[in-house]
Amino acid sequence: MPRRDADYSRALARAVHHSTAWLHSLADRPVGPSRTAHDLGAAFGGPLPRQGMPAEEVIDFLARNAEPGLMAMPSGRFFGWVIGGTLPAALASDWLVSAWDQNACFRYATPAAAAIEESAGAWLLELLGLPRESDVGFVTGATMANFTGMAAARWRLLTDAGWDLDRDGLAGAPRIRCYVGRERHDTVDLGLRYLGLGQPTAVAADREGRLIPAALDAALAEGGGPALVCLQAGNVHSGAFDPFPEAIAVARKHGAWVHVDGAFGLWAAAAPGLRHLTSGYGEADSWATDAHKTLNVPYDCGIAIVRDAAALRSAMGLHASYLVHDAEGPGDPFEKVPELSRRARGVPVWAALKSLGGDGVAAQVHGLAAAASDIAAGLAVLDGVEVLNDVGYTQVCVAFGDDHTTRAVTARIIDDGRVWMSGSRWHGRDILRISVSNWQTAGEDVGTAVAAVGSAFAAVRSG
């Protein structure tokens, strides 16, 4: 076991060497991996060795054998799913987080981690235009941020209905009616499942996937009792935002808690030219977002924001019931997230915000949206290519005539390796989805993306 400074130094020096080699390779390496997990199994597997290996050799072995199986997700030519890269300050601060090895759950025990995360939280509320009294929790991703916001909702709704959730559990409790737009992200349903709230009612959405407020009104009017409405900032296909002022007014009329899943869309609020997309969303009760997408910090980092701090701390804290005087202070980190022990994952958020500044965040988000609209414009002029969504944020959906052709083009793009884009299905069709989420995506990457799609389509057509 490494116990001496020298052991750390040698292992860390190797990690620096391999990390920088990897980051330098991103400029021109093929984006996709060249080996499958099955192929790589042999190098990493076999019987557990009886004898150990010096730390620096472990790091060399790991880097050498992992390399062919790495996806260039931090590359500016990666457009799959919705995946961010990592800013230099965010990556380097993440290394510090590991070296410091703080268990960031108690404020008094790890004061630096608490102070940094509290500051990051306050900056986020300011940047995103959300109520300053909200609690901010750093979780693993938007899935857990959705879960956390909706757990606070469940506690508040049942408490207000006179039900003691902590003592009596869910069995026999008033049913919480849950409403989502038809095109919500599946992780909202997952969060509701974790919470024992069952399957939500899906409300009609328009062509871009925006929930229709009149349909929400009609659905809510059909029943009574506690209700939870989940809205969306940023549809994974179209990038569209639900109409917050109208939808929140409807929810309020029926006394519902409003949660907003803004895994990548919440960041539009930080960009003056895109802020109109989130207009009115600050009237909701809770918000979920990712820092590992649009902000570009390393995995894993999501953010749960809840205005009703008492509800959040009651749902997540270790106390059976909430202690009033704590609500006025910043509270302990463990009261705001599902975990007790955890890494100080808010530190890379702080470092990203400190390195970019508010103007830098705005420029980054504007840059992603501009690249998406440039890619869409470049593709729209190609004969036989259909851009299917109104490109107003970071997402572009494209089809190439029939499903068979679209699938073939997607496979060729991935094979070609210059860029990586995902296939998906939307409105009953196979599509190619392009998400611009990496801070490094520049004009030349936009050109490469358009050229790669164009040549894949030409090849499929001719052959």
Interface contacts to ligand PLP, rule CB under 6 A: 82, 141-143, 185, 187, 234, 236, 261, 263-264, 290, 302
Specify the residue, 266 or 399, whose C-beta has the smaller distance to ligand PLP.
266
Specify the residue, 236 or 368, whose C-beta has the smaller distance to ligand PLP.
236
Specify the residue, 197 or 456, whose C-beta has the smaller distance to ligand PLP.
197
| Contact predicate 254/178, CB 8 Å | no
What is the phi/psi pair of residue 114, to 5°? -65, -45
Specify the residue, 187 or 410, whose C-beta has the smaller distance to ligand PLP.
187
| Contact predicate 408/451, CB 8 Å | no
Coarse DSSP helix, strand, coil percentages of the chain, rounded to the nearest 5 percent: 50, 15, 40
Q: CB 337 → ligand PLP: shortest distance, Å?
A: 14
Specify the residue, 303 or 385, whose C-beta has the smaller distance to ligand PLP.
303
Specify the residue, 303 or 311, whose C-beta has the smaller distance to ligand PLP.
303
Q: What span, in angstroms and rounded, lies between the C-alpha atoms of 219 and 253? A: 13
Closest residue to ligand PLP, based on beta-carbon distance: 141
Q: CB 10 → ligand PLP: shortest distance, Å?
A: 35
Q: Where are the alpha helices (DSSP H) in 80-128?
A: 88-100, 111-128
Q: CB 144 → ligand PLP: shortest distance, Å?
A: 6
Helices and strands, counts by H and E, the chain? 15, 11
| Contact predicate 400/411, CB 8 Å | no
* Integer CA distances (angstroms), 58 to 42, 44, 65, 99, 386, in order: 16, 11, 11, 18, 49
Q: Is the peptide bond before 290 cis (omega within 30 degrees of 0)?
A: no
Q: CB 232 → ligand PLP: shortest distance, Å?
A: 6
Specify the residue, 87 or 263, whose C-beta has the smaller distance to ligand PLP.
263
Cβ neighbour number for residue 410 with a 10 Å cutoff? 23
Q: CB 338 → ligand PLP: shortest distance, Å?
A: 13
Q: CB 414 → ligand PLP: shortest distance, Å?
A: 20
Q: Which two tokens stand for residue 242?
A: 């639900």
Q: CB 172 → ligand PLP: shortest distance, Å?
A: 31
